[in-house]
Structures are given as C-alpha cells and as structure tokens.
A and B are shown apart, each in its own frame.
Chain A
C-alpha cells in the first residue's frame, strides 16, 4: 500500500499527460452531426436555376448522393470548387448543391464563371434547410446513401486528400452494402 501511494503522483502525472496529449490531436470543429443515421429533413424550396420548380428530398435522387452546402460569400467554397468539378466528372456520386443564404444572381454567375458540377441546386435563401441540417457554416457536405439516410456530415472544403481520407472509404462501404442487397 505504502509503495503504491509513493508512486501515486507519478501515476497521476502519466495519466494526465496521456489525456492531455490525446487532447492535442482532437479536432473539436469536427462535430458529429445529430442527423447521421436519419433521413434528410423534409423541405420544399425553389431551385436555383429554375425558381418556379419546387424541390423536395425526393429530387435528391441517385445511388449515393452528395449534398454540398455552398455560397458565393464563402472563400473555402471557391477553394473546393475545382475538386467538385472533377468529382462530378468521375461519376462516383450524384452531386447536388444547397446554395445557402446566398443571392440568386451571384450564385448563378458563380456557376457560369467557374463551372457547374451540380445535378441540381436547392436555393435556401433564408437558411431554413441549413438550420434543419444543423449546418453552421459553408462549405459542408453530407453523404446520403441509397435509402436516403444521411451517413456522414463533413465540415470544411473537400480536396483530393480529404476525399481519399474521409469519403472514399464510406462510398466503398455503401457500394458493398448495395451489392449485398441491404
């Protein structure tokens, strides 16, 4: 007993050191989404290009859907845009946009100038859908599987490295699930 007590400060020090060391590598910005495992929240919002058209979750169709939240006021969105164009070309996923708290004209000009990787864009001017999705900034990207269930939320811009690390394994998993008929 006496020996244990003598080493207690050392043990506490090592334990504390381990906890704090681990804390150095945690990323508190990467919040888990409250929506992972749930379906896309209901919405009915106009399209970006066609304001007359009313879009609902049913319009986000495809095997694996990527819903990318973007805006022209967001510098990181400009950074990730070229990669989204590549991604759209690769055809691995169905890429949809959620134009978040933006101006329609500015957003349309952005797509004209920089290219349009999206199958469709939902125009969420008031940020209602953004709020229901738990979006707190742009860009954010949601992965929706073939059952319409949100599988992942990623905050921050996507590039090739991020795609390989964060998205590619999940896309593979979903493909396997589809192959098994789940």
Chain B
C-alpha cells in the first residue's frame, strides 16, 4: 500500500514537472508557413523579464503578452522584420537573441573568431620554434664524422 502511495506521489511530481516545463498555451495557425514563422520569431525574441529565456520558453505575463502580440502582428500580415523592429523600438536591442552587427556588438560577433585566430598563430609560432631548435641540435656532416671517429676509437 505504501509503495503504491509513493508511486502515485512520484507520478504526480513527474506530471507537475512536465506541466511546468511547457509554456502555457501558445497560439496555433492553420497555415504551416505562418506557424513556422511564429515559432521562429518567438524563439528569436528574448523575454524582457526572465532574461535567459526566449518568448517561447517563458511563462511570465509579459512573455505571454508579447507572444500574443507576435501572433496578432503575423495575422495582420506584418513582415518578420517589422515585428522584430517593433519589439526593438519598445524593449531595445536586448530583445533580440541574435543581436544586430554594430559597433556595440562587434566584440560579440567577431571576438571568438579573433581569439581563435590568435590561438592558431601562437600554436604555429610555438611549433616552428620547436622545429627550429631541433634543427640546431642536429649535427653537421663534419661533426657527425668526428663523432663516428670517436666512437670507432672507443671500440
């Protein structure tokens, strides 16, 4: 009996977790293309309240409102660009998960590539140095001859 109750409790918790992980009712479209645009827009837009979530994942009141806003604007025939710039006008560049390329965001866009490039340069320089020092260590023909002679004498 106890096990049964425990199982039931566990199931309830599992159910609750699933419910919590799902955003409350997102809108549905008849047109699959619109549906796709809607889904990609709410994934690209950041929730202003819960900053590490996008609109699709967040359940905060403002995320629900903004999802509805995206839905309405799509139904009004607005272009994706118009919808994102509408959001930027109100909430700033911040709402875009992929920030636009401008002076403020150069470091975000190109920083990793620059760091990778510097890393590659360092590795190449280090490798060359190693090769060069190996060369210095090898003997010239004359030295090799001397060495051979010494070794022969020893025998």
Question: Which of B48, B89, B90, B92 gathers the greatest number of chain A CB atoms within 10 Å?
Answer: B90
Residue of B nearest to A137 (CB): B49
> Does B92 lie within 8 Å of A134, measured CB to CB?
yes
> Does A31 lie within 8 Å of B90, measured CB to CB?
no
> Does A31 lie within 8 Å of B94, measured CB to CB?
yes
Task: Report the count of interface residues on A (CB-CB < 8 A).
Answer: 16
B149 contacts partner chain A, Cβ-Cβ < 8 Å: no
A34 to chain B: which residues have CB within 8 Å? 88-92
B143 contacts partner chain A, Cβ-Cβ < 8 Å: no
A101 to chain B: which residues have CB within 8 Å? 61
B62 contacts partner chain A, Cβ-Cβ < 8 Å: yes
B94 to chain A: which residues have CB within 8 Å? 31
Q: Is the interface of A mostly helix, strand, loop or mixed?
A: loop
- The CA-CA distance from A134 to B46 in the complex, in Å, is 13
B88 to chain A: which residues have CB within 8 Å? 34
A28 to chain B: which residues have CB within 8 Å? 51
B69 contacts partner chain A, Cβ-Cβ < 8 Å: yes
For chain B residues 19-49, which have a beta carbon within 8 Å of chain A?
A: 48-49
Given A101-B61, A127-B65, A131-B69, A32-B90 contact (CB < 8 Å): no
Known: A101-B61, A136-B49, A137-B49; 13 extra A-B contacts, CB below 8 A, are: A29-B51, A31-B48, A31-B92, A32-B92, A33-B92, A34-B90, A35-B90, A127-B65, A131-B66, A131-B69, A133-B90, A135-B62, A136-B62
Which A residues lie at the B interface, using CB under 8 A? 28-29, 31-35, 101, 127, 131-137
Which B residues lie at the A interface, using CB under 8 A? 48-49, 51, 61-62, 65-66, 69, 88-92, 94
